[in-house]
Amino acid sequence: MSWFAILGIGLGSFAFKAAGMFGLGRLVADGWGRALGMLLPPALLSALVVSQTVSTGSNLVIDARIVGVVAGGLAARKGAPFWLVAVIAAVVTAGLRALT
Amino acid sequence: MGVPAHIRDGIVVGFATGVFAVGFGVLATTNGLSVAQTSVMSLLIFTGASQFAAVGVIAAGGSAGTAVSTALLLAARNGFYGITMSRLIRGSLPKRIVAAHVTIDESTGMAMAQTDPAKREGAFWAAGLGVFVFWNLGTLLGALAGDVIGDPERWGIDAAFPAGFIALMVPALKQRPGLLAAAAGGAIALVTIPLTRPGVPIILASIGAVIALVVAGPLDELSTPEDDAS
């Protein structure tokens, strides 16, 4: 990733926070705008989960990843903290790859 | 025993996210970022989901523009946290600039979880600064380790990414609008992956948030920290 992209995301992220903290965000804050801001993360994160679990590039692929991710997802559902969820997924996937 | 519970809790939350940051450091460096780039991401962007997503899009072969757009769409919610926190944080300009930078899921959540309003600012700073310190220490540690680890697939690190995203989503999934958004976003990704370039399905998934907004109806169903307070 380029430095340009990193600085762009950094500046943009801070701009959102500062707009809220310094009152600029009030213009779009109420009602629908706020709700949309809260619903974007689950929509995008879910898309990331799907694309990183069952695809490589533009191809749909089923491999060891899905087993690890399901195991991690079940742990998350049981209330496991996120670091444990990530470790479970990695260990299960790596184990399956070592066996096959 | 000398440290009040709302301060201690913030530091504990900071430590927990620091462990996750080790994972970010490993993931970023095993996907081609330098240790310096990885550390600067955590210092400047300081929003876990955005950082993971940007690296993930690049790792999957997406363009820089797609990575930046995805990361910024994920960061927009912090603006709304900022509005809530602006009522709490008073004082000098530098103080409020620092407060803005540490306005994230954890600090906003810990502040609004306090039943005693007098403890909210302390809880905000403890979690915000606690996460900042441990997030950056963890990132550096992971980045240095990632340089040594080499092939991320051998360790299953490519599966740790999406599983970690599920963990990040859990609070949103407990509410109907969040669950709808996740279902719609996931379905959009599944359908568009074969049809578009890598990373584009993630941007298209933002339509899932709009669908959830329309289907879920009235906004008062959407509980935010602010609503709990009023």
In this prediction, the residues of chain B whose per-residue pLDDT falls under 70 are: 1, 150, 217-230
Residue A65: per-residue pLDDT: 94
CA distance B10 to chain A (A): 15
Contacts (Cβ under 8 Å, ≥6 apart) of B18: B131, B133, B134, B135, B137, B138
Q: B76 vs A40: CB contact, 8 Å cut-off?
A: yes
* Higher pLDDT pick, A86 / A69: A69
Q: Which two tokens stand for residue B224?
A: 């935010």
Cα(B222)–Cα(A80) distance, rounded to whole angstroms?
24
CA distance B169 to chain A (A): 6
Chain B residues with CB inside 8 Å of A41's CB? 49, 74, 77, 168-169, 172
The answer to whether residues A81 and B146 touch, using CB atoms and an 8 Å cutoff, is: no
Is residue A24 pLDDT above 80, yes or no? no
Contacts (Cβ under 8 Å, ≥6 apart) of A72: A85, A86, A88, A89, A92, B159, B160, B162, B163, B164, B166, B167
ipTM exceeds 0.90: no
Residue B158: per-residue pLDDT: 81
Cα(B67)–Cα(B56) distance, rounded to whole angstroms?
8
Chain A residues with CB inside 8 Å of B83's CB? 20-21, 23, 25-26, 29, 34
Closest-approach residue (CA) in chain A for B214: A32
